[in-house]
Each structure stands twice: as C-alpha cells, then as structure tokens.
Structure 1
Amino acid sequence: MTNILTRSIDAPVPSKINTQVPGYYRIAVGDFEITALYDGYVDFDRNLFMHAPDSEIQALLQKMYINAPAIQGSGNIYVVNTGSNLILVDTGAADTFGESLGWVERNLIASGYQPSQIDTVLMTHLHADHVAGLIAADGSRAFPNADIYVAKREADFWLSDDPQLRAPDAVAQVTQIARRSVAPYIEAGRFKTFEAGDMLAPGVRSMPLPGHTPGHTGFVFTSEGERFFTWGDAIHNQALQFARPEIAIEFDVDTTASVATRRAILAEAASTGEIVSAAHLPFPGMGRVRIEGDGYAWVPLEFGPVHRAEHVHIYTSSRK
C-alpha cells in the first residue's frame, strides 16, 4: 500500500505529551458555582459487585463497552462557591492508594483556588479515599482555615471508643486512617458534627444516605430554585447500578440499606431531572437520571460554558 501522507515540516515529529488536561470542570447552579475536581482513578474488581449473577453483571458491563475484569472508577471531589462560603465536599485519597489517586490539591490549584481559601469541608463519609486528603504529607492540616463537618452517626462509628458505636475490628485500617486524618482538626477545634438532615448554611442541607456506611451523607445545594445533589458513594458504577439498583458493592456496611437508599435517590432524580453527582462515576461525575425499562440510565452532562451566553446563534432549518 502506498503511503499518501507526507510531512511538510522539516523537523521530526514531537515526542508524545502523555499527560491529560487539568482535572476540573465547572457548572452554575443558580448563583452557586460548582467545580468538580479529579482526584484520579481506582480500579474495582468485578467480583466486588453482588446481588446479581456474574453473567448479568458481565452483560451490563459489555453493554457499556467495559470488557476488562477491573472496572475503572473516578475519584470526584466537589468545590461549591456559594458567594459566602467556599465549600469542599470530601478531600480525596492523598497517598493512601498509590499514584493513581491523590490529585485533589494540584487540580484545586489549577482550577483557580488555593487550599487556604477553603473555609468548610463537608464529609460524605470517612472512608480513606474521601478523608485522607484532609492532611498534608507532613501530617498538618491540608486546609488550614477550614472547619470539618461530619454526620454525628458517621463520626461515632469510626471515631468513638464506645464498643456499642464503633466500627468492627475487621475494618481497623480504615478506622486508623480516619482517626489520623481528622486528628489535627480536632486538636485545632475545627472538627464539628451535625445531625441527619441539618441545614448547614443557607442553601446547603445534609441528606442522610445510609448503607454504604452508617452515617453516609449526601448534600443538597439549592440556589435560585435550582438544585445540585451530591451522593457520595451511594452509587459506584454507571453500567451496573442504574440499570439494576439492587446491585451492591462489597464495601457497603449494610447492603440492604444501601440498596434502599439507591432506589430512593434514583427515583427522586428521575422525577425531578435535577443535576446529581457521585464520587466514583466517570469524571466529572455530574449528570441526570432517566427511567429506562425496569431501571434507570445515567445521562452525563455535556461539556459547555459555566454560563450560557445571552445571545446565541441558532441554526434553523430551511425545510418548510
């Protein structure tokens, strides 16, 4: 076969770049500005998902062209600028999962913010890939001017010494990371708890989403009649758990509760059409939910400007 391409530039082809764009993406929700930050990725073994035959799980994955035994999940963190507060929802994994995660700080800076500007951190739960980013490599507070807010039930489960409240010994490593991560904030008097459903600030409400952990919490941000609901780990995979909400993941502390929570939030999101997000859906993890058959389907947001232009050229058809 004859090669018809020729290079007209008298210089060698440059080396491949091998890096991705900075991991952030913005949308407006009313007067609030939401910035998604990419913390990296983690691979989930297919066998972690349960409550469905392996043949069905494999078929659902293949339908979305996911053919590898390991299923890639993003680490999505959210910054909400309300005009009064600069809020971070979760903090990422830091160095606890190797080089594939731990990119929150660099992407926060790339997005135009500094860690010192964060005044509030809302924790969906205290698993390592959400809480470990609270501390810098030297053990100091990564967000030195922030107060940390955790649901009281979640704090009791991971941090309490009361045997009636604390996590079982089988998850000792998770408990250790959680305690180490929040310790400097407790020492500085910047660790606070809230009750399920509490209003935390104007337009910012906590929403209990139990199952993944006992105090697992989502957050609803409302401005000018628009809502953004971030789900944390209430759902882990777009190919499996929208179509079959009953599919749980091994990391859930209470799979029965996690399935009930997932069914409820999917039904609500499909009804309202509001923008929702989850921590491990493909970055930026933002989209809407629609009904499909006996289950649901994920409709990711399109890339676009933060605010639509007032005057947009519209192409119209010449057909009568």
Structure 2
Amino acid sequence: MKKDTTAIALSSLLLISSAWADAPAQIAQQVPGYYRLAVGQYEVTSLFDGYNDLSPSLLKGLSANKIRELLAENKINAERMPTSFNAFLINTGKHLVMIDSGAGHCVPQTAGKLLSNMEASGYHPEQVDTIFLTHLHLDHVCGLSDVAGKALFPNATVYVPQGEAEYWLDPAKEASAPENAKAYFAIAQKALSSYKASGHLKTFVPPASPIPEVQTAYAIGHTPGSTVYRFWSEGKAITFIGDLIHAPAIQFPHPDVSIRFDADAKNAILSRTREFNALVKDGDWMAAAHLPFPGVGHLTANHQGYSWNPAIYGPYRRATDVPLLK
C-alpha cells in the first residue's frame, strides 16, 4: 500500500510545533554575569551589575551625522547606545579586592545584579576586605549599600581618592553645586555613610598604594579625583580605568570625543589619551566600567585612534595550563 507522504510530513510538522509550544522561550533569563581570568598569580573576576542606554547626543566633539555613521557601522541603534555597569574582583591571595560597585538600587529597572552574580561566581560579600572606587558617581557607589544605607560589604574598608572625597563629601561643594546636581552628592554620601560610621572609610592621595599589590594614579577630568588602579603579578598587569570611556564605537576611533558627564572635558580627553597610550605601550590588560561585559581586553593603536581586543571567552586558565600545539 502506497504511503501518503504529504500526510506524514504534515503530521510530523504538527508534532514538532506541539513540542515547541511545550517549551516557552526563556526571555527573562540570560546567564550568570561573571567572567574570570588570570593575571599572573592574581585571579580577576568581572561582575555584571546591569546596564543602561545612553543617548548619542551626550557625546561632544564630533558631528551628529558622523556619530550616527559610526554607530551604524557597528550595528548600534542611533538613538540608544547600550552601556554596561561592570565591577571587578581581584583575589591577590592576601586580599579580595573589589573595584567599584555598580549602580545597585539607584537604577532598579536594569541594575542591582552585583551581589547575585558575585554569589554565582563563588564569592560572598562578607569575603571582600578592600574596595577601591574610581570615582563617586552613583553607578559606581550605589552598590555599596542597600536602599536604607546599610553596608552590603560589612568587612570591607572602602578607599576613596582624596580628590573625590574633597568634592563629593564636602558640604560646601554640595551647597554651591547646581540644583540638578545636588542629588548626586547626597547619593554618594549615603552610600558611604555606614562605612564612615564604622571607621571603614579611608581616603588616600595617588600615587599612594593603600595595599602593596596596587599602584594608583589620578586620571582627572571625568570627575575631580578620578583614579585608575593597576595590579601587577609575574610580569602581567591589569589596569582598571573606571569611566575613561563610555562609547567604544565612538571614543576608540575618536578619543578626543567627550561626554556630557565629564566635569572637565579637556582633562578627561588628556587622561584618556595618556592612559590609553600607556596601555598600548605596556600591553596591560584593561578593565573598564562601561565597556560591553566583561569589560576586559587589550588596546592596540591604529592609524587614527585605538582598537579594542576583548577577552576571549573560555575556561579559567593560565597560559601554561594547556599544551601548545605545533
């Protein structure tokens, strides 16, 4: 008896469709937001706190048409530039250090994932003993405390560059700030209040090293005391640059483009160029707060600006852990 191949095919299609209907799309979940790499003997873990979108109109120093052109070349929405909120852990063997803390409860719609991703990575907030802040904008300090101001890292000492403390923690500076900026002073002060009350808030003046493993340097411009942190081990190094860059599709090829958030655009550009040139020369890893997660990679120079070479996803390992095929 001849089979009806059309009927069989239709029946199979219906069965497949039924199977798909029983497995709804998991659109609400991605994967745990952490990434690990080795820098000499140090273990570095990138932590994803969340994201936000930036308007290209925030960028200054390049025509709107050119910005749109660059965004289109990189397949980025011309109206909304995505930006990550990244924080980082460095396990030196003696200290568990955190760099910045994300936006936390201050951007509840799309951020506040730092603690859950830290736990997923195998660490707990009680284990963090040292926190370095690149600056005191809300998307770097709000993750330190909960909405009531309670410290989320109870055993950590928080280190703030003196230039930042003298600005954001000074009542006189707050009083003289524009009305639309006063809230940002209050946010920084509240985020740090529990640490200050417990004696766990300290200031330092770069290039001082609060712990032996770190080198510090001012990179002012974005804020009055913006600071970069460099960790070196066994001939390898990683530098945490904070907010020296916000829009990679624009500011890598055009490092002279500033953003409205920069307090001093001229110095922000000078700091970015100086640090980027050093990173190209030394070959350090670079870690940034707002590059696409995990926010870690290397810089190379090109004919105009810089090229970004992000870390390649893979298992945590040192180069000597696997054989070299020849």
Is the TM value for this pair above 0.5?
Answer: yes
User: Aligned residue for 2:152?
Assistant: 142
Q: 1:15 and 2:24 equivalent?
A: yes
Partner amino acid for 1:174? Y
Which structure has the highest helix share of the two?
2
Q: 1:176 and 2:186 equivalent? A: yes
| Partner Cα distance (2:83, 2:177) in 1 | 25
Query: Which residue number in structure 1 is paired with residue 36 of structure 2?
Result: 26
User: Structure 1 residues 98 and 136, CA, compared in 2 at 3 Å: closer, same or farther?
Assistant: closer
The structure with more radius of gyration? 2
1:44 aligns with 2:44: no
Q: Determine if contact 1:159/1:179 at 8 Å carries over to the other structure.
A: yes
Distance in 1 (alpha carbons) for counterparts of 2:223 and 2:145: 22
Equivalent of residue 293 in structure 1, options 303, 317, 320: 303
Tell me, yes or no, if the aligned pair for 1:209 and 1:217 is still in contact at 8 Å. yes
- Which residue number in structure 2 is paired with residue 90 of structure 1? 100
Offset at residue 93 of structure 1 (A): 1.1
Q: What's the offset of the Cα at 1:161?
A: 2.5
Deviation at 1:313, TM superposition (A): 6.8
Larger mean Cα displacement after TM superposition, 292-301 or 38-47 = 292-301
Note closer, same or farther for the CA distance 1:163–1:233 as it changes in structure 2 (3 Å cut). Answer: closer
Cα distance, 1:90–1:163 mapped onto 2, change above 3 Å: closer
Point out the more displaced range, 181-190 or 303-312: 303-312
* Residue number in structure 2 paired with 1:224: 234
Contact 1:42-1:100 at 8 Å conserved across structures? yes
* Among 275, 281, 284, the residue aligned to 1:271: 281
Q: CA RMSD in A?
A: 2.1
1:199 to 206, 209, 222: 209
> Helix, strand or coil: the match of 1:22?
coil
What is the Cα deviation at residue 310 of structure 1? 3.3
Take 1:163 and 1:134, find their aligned partners in 2: how far apart are those partners? 23
Structure 1 CA distance, aligned partners of 2:84 and 2:321?
34
SS of equivalent residue, structure 1 residue 72 = strand
What residue is the counterpart of 2:200 in the other structure?
A: 190
**Aligned partner letter, 1:17:** Q
Work out the CA distance in 2 between the residues paired with 1:63 and 1:84. Answer: 45
Change (3 A) 1:242 1:205: same
Which ranges in structure 2 are unaligned for 5 or more consecutive residues?
1-5
Q: Does 1:105 align with 2:115?
A: yes
Q: Does 1:256 align with 2:266?
A: yes
- Quote the Cα distance in structure 2 between the aligned partners of 1:296 and 1:156: 33
Distance 2:35 2:198 in 1: 32
Q: Which runs of 4+ in 1 moved over 4 A?
A: 2-12, 163-170
Cα offsets for 1:273-316 (capped at 9, x unmatched): 221011000000001111122111111111122214634373x6
- Residue segments in structure 1 that go unaligned for 5+ positions in a row: none
Task: In structure 2, give the amino acid aligned to 1:29.
Answer: V
Q: Does the C-alpha gap of structure 1 residues 84 and 248 become closer, same or farther in structure 2, counting only changes over 3 Å?
A: same
* Residue matched to 1:81: 91
Q: Report whether the alignment pairs 1:128 with 2:131.
A: no
Report the 3-state secondary structure (helix = DSSP H, G, I; strand = E; otherwise coil) of the residue aligned with 1:200. coil
- 1:306 equivalent to 2:309? Answer no
CA offset digits 1:75-98 (Å, max 9, x no partner)? 010001000001111111111123
CA 24–163 in structure 1, closer or farther in 2 if over 3 Å, else same? closer
| TM-score between the two structures when normalised by the length of structure 1 | 0.92
